[in-house]
Amino acid sequence: MRIAATLREMGIAPVAVYSEADREALHVLGVPEALPIGPADPRSSYLDADAIIAAARRAGAEAIHPGYGFLAENAAFAAAVEAAGLTFIGPSPEQVRALGDKRAARALAVKAGVPVVPGAEGKDAAALIKAAKTMGFPVMVKAALGGGGKGMRVVSAAEGLAEAIESAARLAGSAFGDPSVYLEKRLERARHVEVQVLGDGQGAAIHLFERECSLQRRHQKVIEESPAPGLSEALRERLTFAAVAIAAVARYRGAGTVEFLLGPDGAFYFLEMNTRLQVEHPVTELTTGLDLVRLQLEVAATGRLPLAQDQVTHAGHAIEARLYAEDAARGFLPQAGTITRARWPRRPFVRVDAGVESGSGVPVHYDPILAKIVAHGADRAEALGRLTAALDDTVLQGVVSNLPFLRALARSREVAQGRYDTEWIEREFLGGFAALAQAPAPELALAAAALAEMAPGAPAADAEAGAAVQPSAFQTVGRWRLPGLG
């Protein structure tokens, strides 16, 4: 839907693809033309390159936008699209492959003169263990082809390392098809700052400033913003310069994100590069006034950068919260079911990118993101105030979500002051939040629930029907990770 919105503004007819289960999904009903590509199981639909390419041919499409998920960082898919004579909106298959291998990406950063997190690669566990002892603990064990925090293990002493390497390799083998792992020194109290870049594929690249994404749980982002709070202008220049250098050395084509870890001492290290549009791209769009999907399309169509670095400016501050179907007070357990009521904030300077509405099913098998709520303001305090109010306005019932967690985060003193690192939520925030969330509900809430049981046609009567319409998880595929032209 996000992508179709821009296509329609540009006078290009979007064609969405959908699985059997998504016949009534928002991304399908929201565009004039949509084609079925197979059954609910993503392996035979959203992950089936042939089915997607065949649909593009049937529709007479010229290009395929891979969205954020499923095949967005799949080199074989990018290659198949190009082999079919279609344009892939994104980097070349070689770039997807090279940057997807975290070891090759680290080598590229070194070549660009950018520091990488001290680490070690090696064929066998013994060599890695020896390197770790030299480097010092704690270390992180990561999958070479991993991403999104999956399969990462923190090891604080030599004893647990052999077992962690073996288990990470096994997981990497089954999840990414390659058991290679590598080690990285774990930086304490580091922040996650990333730079949005755009390259022409021939060695020219520009940046669209940075995003701060340190507010994470289980290594996954929950609140992101731009600009990064507390970043000096000098440090911002060095970070963006490093990101552009990496994109230039990679001869990167299209929109990408260079991720860095920023130590408390101001030293920064290359982490990885994402070769797709990021979930958090709206904060960059709101502060630069640029439509990232449009920029992707323009680069794909012309092979040139549509604007020069000095034409990119940023204004104000934008902050995004990710609404997930998960129980933050109970270990972030994923939740599923049917959304009985969803109402999004309607207020000035707030943007909502939602994948669900009242009546939508929330599936069991995928990343349980429901919506992104993004606020813009003249400065950080104004943006955060608007986000807080927007979260208060949001109504989501039927499935437990992280909405109370987001509201508490947005109100916390550390977030207001911009003082946190990637582990702050789990180290300092979560305990207090969980205690608060488990406090008894106010008497008025109980009175309201009891009152609703008495009202005619109220929940008591509807309860059975509500249970009956809850779709089987197997029949519902995520609406968020839109592949294809949607």
Partner 1 sequence: MRSTWRDGDRVREVELTPLAEGRYRVAVDGAEFELSAEPLGEGRFRLTRDGVATLVEVGAAGERRFVRLGALDFVLARERAGSGRSRDGAAGGGLEAPMPGVVTRVMVAPGDAVVKGQPLLAIEAMKMEHVIRAPWPGRVKAVLTKPGEMVNGGVPLVELEAGAASPA
Contact 282, 224 (CB under 8 A): no
Phi, psi angles (nearest 5°) of residue 13 = -80, 115
Phi, psi angles (nearest 5°) of residue 436 = -65, -45
* Min separation Cβ 395 and partner 1, Å: 6
Count the residues of the shown chain that bind partner 1, applying the rule CB under 8 A: 54
* Min separation Cβ 437 and partner 1, Å: 8
Choose which of 23, 341, 347, 419 interacts with partner 1 (CB under 8 A). Answer: 341
**Does 251 participate in catalysis according to the annotation?**
no
Helix (H, G, I), strand (E, B) or coil at 195: strand
Max Cα–Cα distance, the chain, nearest Å? 71
The nearer residue to partner 1, 197 or 390, going by C-beta atoms, is: 390
If 0-12 CB within 10 Å is exposed, 13-18 middle and 19+ buried, where does residue 299 land? buried
Asked if 174 touches partner 1 (CB under 8 A), the answer is: no
* Min separation Cβ 47 and partner 1, Å: 14
**How distant, in Å, are the alpha carbons of 152, 274, 445 from that of 99?**
18, 7, 51
Which residue, chain included where needed, has tokens 């891979």? 66
The nearer residue to partner 1, 257 or 338, going by C-beta atoms, is: 338
The nearer residue to partner 1, 110 or 452, going by C-beta atoms, is: 452
Asked if 407 touches partner 1 (CB under 8 A), the answer is: yes
299-328 residues near partner 1, rule: CB under 8 A: 327
Stretch that binds partner 1, among 35-43, 195-203, 237-245, 457-465 (CB under 8 A): 457-465
Give how far the C-alpha of residue 458 lies from the chain's centroid of Cα atoms, to the nearest Å. 38
* Structure token pair of residue 236: 């911002």
Angle CA 430–259–231, to nearest 5: 75
Asked if 356 touches partner 1 (CB under 8 A), the answer is: no
Asked if 77 touches partner 1 (CB under 8 A), the answer is: no
Handedness of CA 235, 261, 219, 180 (dihedral sign): positive
**Smallest Cα–Cα separation from 194: which of 153, 248, 125, 246?**
246
Asked if 472 touches partner 1 (CB under 8 A), the answer is: yes
Beta bridge partners of 87: 63
* Min separation Cβ 175 and partner 1, Å: 9
Stretch that binds partner 1, among 117-125, 185-193, 330-338, 421-429 (CB under 8 A): 330-338
Asked if 60 touches partner 1 (CB under 8 A), the answer is: no
The nearer residue to partner 1, 194 or 326, going by C-beta atoms, is: 326
The nearer residue to partner 1, 230 or 459, going by C-beta atoms, is: 459
Q: Which residues are catalytic?
A: 276
